[in-house]
Amino acid sequence: MTTTAEKTAAPALSDTPQRAEIRALLAGSEQDTDPTAWGSVRAFTWRALLRIKHVPAQLVDVTIWPVVMLVLFTLMFGGAIAGTTGDYIQYLLPGMLVMTIVMITMYTGISVANDNSKGVSDRFRTLPIWRPAPMVGFLLADAVRYTVAGAFMLVTGLIMGYRPEGGAGGVLLGTAVVLAFSFCVSWIWTWIGLIVSNEKTVMSISTTVLFPLTFLSSIMVDPSTMPSWLEPVVANTPISNLADSVRGFFTGEFDATATLLTAAWSAALLVVFGSLTLRAYNRS
């Protein structure tokens, strides 16, 4: 039987200052809620950006490489193709901007494959977050890389004598078109990164696809100078459409057809490979 002393001691223990303080804190605290979709995306975008902060060497591909490529192609081929390097850079720079940003889209898939191979993606799937948040976070962080690459390319071009007749507005619109298209292309490598889970395989596949597409385009030369059987093929690739659209904005001569085709390609890539990516992520 419980003694009278024990009965009187129990309430005294429950009313100790420490217990009373804990009860007050619990009573005043708010219930935890699941993060919103934007909150989840923001967190994963910041996570991807922190990788760049801790490994600055990742910025080499978006700073040094674009500058070297622009300088080399201008100095080596400018005289042969356009007569002077000054004339050639007016044609080349918009195309090189496209080539640079589209080529670095492969790193999205490499990052996804790295997380997938280490089991990090499995941990993300257990969290109460919006399911596509990790993928979208990678893509938005890479959009920052694309912007940095574009800025370095444009500054270098201006130093070398490039003068966009479309003005600042045309440059901003053209750059926005490249960024939007590259965001959609990145979904291809995100999907591949999920299904192969191997960084080297992602790089091999993306390089095999991107190099022919970028060189067989209007980035460096006018397709009309190519053989008659090759000209229509090159002129109608998505990369050529993108390069022509951007070049039109930069020169102040808006190319409606190329811009509409670029928008159509972007929408198709986003719908098809965005769906495949989410499906692969949910099934992994």
Q: What is the pLDDT of residues 37-56, one digit of tens each?
A: 888 888 888 888 887 777 77
CA gap 152, 243 in Å, rounded: 18
Please say whether the beta carbons of 62 and 143 come within 8 A.
no
Beta-carbon count within 10 A of 79 CB: 13
Q: Is pLDDT at 3 greater than 60 in this prediction?
A: no
Residue 13's pLDDT is what? Answer: 46
- At 22 the pLDDT is 64
What span, in angstroms and rounded, lies between the C-alpha atoms of 187 and 182?
9
pLDDT at 82: 84
**Model confidence pTM above 0.85:** no
Cβ atoms of 276 and 184 closer than 8 Å:
no
Which range, of 28-37, 120-129, 173-182, 275-284, averages the lowest pLDDT?
28-37
Q: Quick check: 12 pLDDT over 60?
A: no
How wide is the angle at C-alpha 69 spanned by C-alphas 67 and 74, nearest 5°? 100
Amino acid identity for residue 198 in this structure? N
pLDDT of residue 6: 46
Residues 6+ apart with CB under 8 A from 150: 97, 100, 101, 175, 178, 179
Non-local (6+) Cβ contacts of 237 within 8 A are 213, 216, 217
With a CB cutoff of 8 Å and minimum separation 6, the contacts of 171 are 154, 164, 249, 250
Residue with tokens 């490979």: 273
**Computed over its alpha carbons, how large is the radius of gyration of the chain?**
27
Mean pLDDT over all residues of the chain? 84
State the distance between the two ends of the chain, measured CA to CA, in whole angstroms.
Answer: 59
